[in-house]
Amino acid sequence: MDQGTPSPATLNAKLRPTAEGVEWFEGLPEDDQRNVLHALVLFCGQARACEKDVPESIARSGIRSTHTPAVMLTKWRFGMEDLPTHELTKSFRLLVALFSIADTRRRTLHCAGGCSHAWHNLPDPPRDAT
- pLDDT tens digits, one per residue of 86-100: 999 999 999 999 999
Q: What is the pLDDT of residue 23?
A: 94
- Asked, for residue 91, whether it belongs to a domain, the answer is yes
> Domain residues for 107?
51-111
| Counted domains in the chain | 1
Task: Tell me the angle at which helices 18-26 and 30-46 cross, rounded to the nearest 10 degrees.
Answer: 140
- Asked, for residue 21, whether it belongs to a domain, the answer is no
**Higher-confidence residue: 115 or 46?**
46
pLDDT digits (tens, 9 = 90+) for 35-91: 999 999 999 998 899 999 999 999 999 999 999 999 999 999 988 889 999 999 999
User: In the structure, what pLDDT confidence band is assigned to residue 15 with cuts at 50, 70 and 90?
Assistant: low
Q: CB burial class (10 A; 0-12, 13-18, 19+) of residue 125?
A: middle
